[in-house]
Amino acid sequence: MPLHENLGQMDDARELRSYQDQPAQMRAAAHGKIGELRLGFAMRNGRTELCDLYRVAPLLVQQALYWDEAMPELPICSIISVGGGILQGDRYKIDITVGEGACALVNSQSANRVHRMDANYASQHQTVHVEAGAYLEYLPDFTIPYRGSRFINQTELVVAEDATVLYGEMMMTGRKHHHTDERFGLDLLSMAVSVHRPDGKKIFSEKILIENDDPTVDFASVMKGFDAFANIMCLTPPDVAARIQSRFEGQFETEEARAFAGVSRLPNSAGLMLRVVGVETYDVRKQVRRFWTIVREEARGRTLPKEFLWS
């Protein structure tokens, strides 16, 4: 299977220059190491349906399910990785399209584990198109980088001005309960996001880059005392963003705090960004869920059931 153009371009990233050697077991991007997933949602017969599905192992989606009682028209797709985690030389490509007026929730079956590597790296490119009046919740579970792992992810979001997208990246500092040197024992974690309008106008971009032996990651104003963090973007019209921001109260208690959380405005009136740091994954999920609930209520007029996903 040929390597997708976007994945090929990622090979030239500055942070990957030291990791261009080939694994002894199987060369990078060999047959069986390129996973691809394409999901297309559209309005059909008065409800949203998964009308386009293409999958190449180890990435898999079986079907769309409708088990959200508070939002029964919402198709829910869980991304499954049958490979047991990301290995050196893996290349993943994910494309999601939500048509005009449609809605969808895409998540992952479990945490995204990036295994230890002695050669090369792993990469993933994601493209998300959300058309006019559409609504997408794309909330993968935590990414857990093992000691010595190297992972780069680039996400391109193309979102109509009147659409709403809740996109999240949640990460651990490593397998903190496995071994003492797992915390920030990774070699490289690079997570970049860019947002455009359908006409090509660039709205903003941001990048999180953590490299081996970077002392700044454990500064008091960064991750000191915390092992889980999340960046959750809510791309939505300005009036919806204003209502969400007015309802979400930041979490900044300093005495024995298990999580800090705050919301800020995105450039060019694109929406809001939630940033959370926490001691454990469940501390971060609690704050993300609180934000998620408000977003759904203000953007769609529906609530998030108590017994739903991370509850």
Domain boundaries, the chain: 5-214
Can you tell me the distance from the alpha carbon of 279 to that of 133, in angstroms, rounded to the nearest whole number?
Answer: 37
Which residue in 217, 161, 142 sits closest to 184, CA to CA?
217
Q: Which two tokens stand for residue 150?
A: 């190297």
Question: Left (φ > 0), alpha (ψ -120 to 50) or beta: where does 177 sit?
Answer: alpha
pLDDT value for 31: 82
pLDDT value for 254: 65
Q: What angle do CA 35, 187, 6 make, to 5 degrees?
A: 35
Tokens 């408000």 locate to 294
Peptide bond into 267 cis (omega under 30): no
DSSP, collapsed to helix, strand or coil, labels residue 292 as helix
Tokens 């963090």 locate to 229
Q: Compute the mean pLDDT over every residue in the chain, rounded to the nearest whole number.
A: 92
Does residue 83 have a pLDDT over 90? no
What's the whole-number mean pLDDT along residues 139-154? Answer: 96
Residue 189 · residue 112 · CB < 8 Å: no
pLDDT value for 124: 96
Percentage of the chain beyond pLDDT 70 is 97
Can you tell me the distance from the alpha carbon of 107 to that of 169, in angstroms, rounded to the nearest whole number?
Answer: 11
Which residue in 295, 296, 274 sits closest to 285, CA to CA?
274
Percentage of the chain beyond pLDDT 90 is 75
Does residue 29 have a pLDDT over 90? no
Residue 223 · residue 242 · CB < 8 Å: no
Residues in contact with 63: Cβ distance below 8 Å, sequence separation at least 6, in sequence order:
50, 77
Strand stretches in 57-140, DSSP E = 59-60, 76-81, 91-98, 103-108, 112-114, 122-130, 135-139
Whether the model pTM is above 0.75: yes
Out of 97-111, 121-135, 243-257, 283-297, which region has the weakest mean confidence (pLDDT)? 243-257
At 260-290, the pLDDT tens digits run: 999 999 999 999 999 999 999 999 999 999 9
